[in-house]
Structure 1
Amino acid sequence: MQHKQQYVDVAPGVRLWTERRGAPDAPALLLIMGAQASGLGWPDALVDALAARHQVIRYDHRDTGRSTTAFDQHPYAITDLARDAVAVLDALGVERAHLVGMSLGGMLTQLVLADHPERVLSATLIGTCALSDTPYVAPDGTRVPVGELPGIAPEVLEMWSRPVEDNGPEAELDRRVEHWRVLNGGALAVDDSYFRDLERRIITHTGTHVASTAHARADDSHMLRTEELADTKVPVLAVSATAEPVFPPPHPHHLAQVIGDGTRVVEIAGMGHALPPAVQGPLAEAILAHTASAASARP
């Protein structure tokens, strides 16, 4: 399987690390990770499964992994991170791609879908919420304001409220493993060694164990896209993770309501806000079925 790493310039003074796997002539699939997450947060096994049918691209956001660390000198907005995703496609010569976004990456995917639909073959949204203030309509017809939808689990909020201190590499690994244990959601057993190995690889890739807080401080205004999302004709898949502790159901169904026709919801039992081995197979199957369906539907 072809495997190529490349740095690309996406804005003045901003260079991002990218990686491509799979046949160069296969349909492109861009993976967009969440806040403070390196592209290596997409597990190799999942990437390889998707690369059986796609040229899979993953990349490090600004202030993650091997990409430019610049927020403290040049603050940016979350919407700039969405522009980076399009700039990655430009730099790699990709006209259109299937997008898969997780957590904040799911919001960035929605921004690209809304602002640049001509660049998107299909979109898969994982562990995220709709960029809309349109109320959710429950099965019984009740209209639920967005602010009253189920929120982030208390144990996640408690961990996110703790200051991130530099107590050395091993202590940082301990903190990250605990973070994944909480995000996993409680339905599936947690293999601490799996997440520890994952984070050790990310630290080696990054070159430092010190965690960034840039994305948490970035301007998150001007992100609502209600009308644009409702107008899209791009096929969208919303993944409903039954143990999701950050954006639990019915958030995926709210996404489907906001985006409307062409949006499917697929449930992955036991999945939380993490990508342990147990969910990688079902998730890959769902994504590949979606991209294949989108390809067959195109004229």
Structure 2
Amino acid sequence: MVFFANSNDIIVVDIEVTEKIDDRYLKSFVLSNLKLKNISLENCDKLYVNYLEYPKEYQVFVVNSQFIFFDFEAFYSYYENRDFEGFELLIYSNFFLIFKDKKFFYYQKINQDLNQDDFIKFLNKKFNINISNIKLVSKDEFEKLKKEFTQKNQKINHKKNINKDGLKYIDLKSNFSFYIYIFYLLSILFIGYYFYNTYFNIVEKKEEIIDFESIKSKITFNSFEEKFYVISKNIDKNRLVLNSFDYRHDTAKIVVSSSNKENIDKYLESCENVISSSTHFSEESKIFEATIDVGKL
């Protein structure tokens, strides 16, 4: 195990959204966006997200599980015996941090000198905040903070303690919540069918056919996130890359790509309510791309 992951060990991705994603579908949403950016995850990776309310943006952190802490977490030692309220900007040689009321708010890498005044104006506007203090951190000071943080946290059981202040951990292990939901749905349909038939056999002495769609419409959820989850699962199943997804007025325009046209054909066969579709081949990239218009999901 390595105690600190520095900026070179961390992949940071910003994802803009129109609204906060339901936690049930956050993992699928993040993984799909990472795939769009050609970022592959390994079994040994850990994933954290930071949601920023005002710009409506998710910040995704990818790091190898051999690392215990991000090096910027050492700044908690800086705030330990210091009273401070508001937003503070901390600038190191290759990254900067914003802390709000002594708690982590935002992190980003930098690779060039910054015009401090213009940079602060940009951050204040981006996050709708007012940075009241700026601190330039030297290498010696940062090393001292890391040493203090290490001494305080070296006895923690790091295998169990994967959570971090200000960051949400996403477990990359497979979970079966979606399949449990499908099983639950089918169970309800079966029970409804059984009691419906039983009732009409007794009262009318004849067999009636149950309207499955009517029952299903009463118990299924109509959230956008759930529809997106089903679509993304089907795309993953057929080994496609989701290039874009536009959902408006109960219709969707989906653009997917693959080096194998059969994968696209299989996806089209499994896709319901297809209004139109077109597929073209790029000679330059040797990739098939399909544009699919889907009716009510």
Question: What's the TM-score bracket when you normalise by the shorter of the two chains?
Answer: under 0.3
Larger-Rg structure: 2
Question: Whose strand fraction is larger, Structure 1's or Structure 2's?
Answer: 2
Q: Which has the higher contact order (CA 8 A, sep 6+)?
A: 1
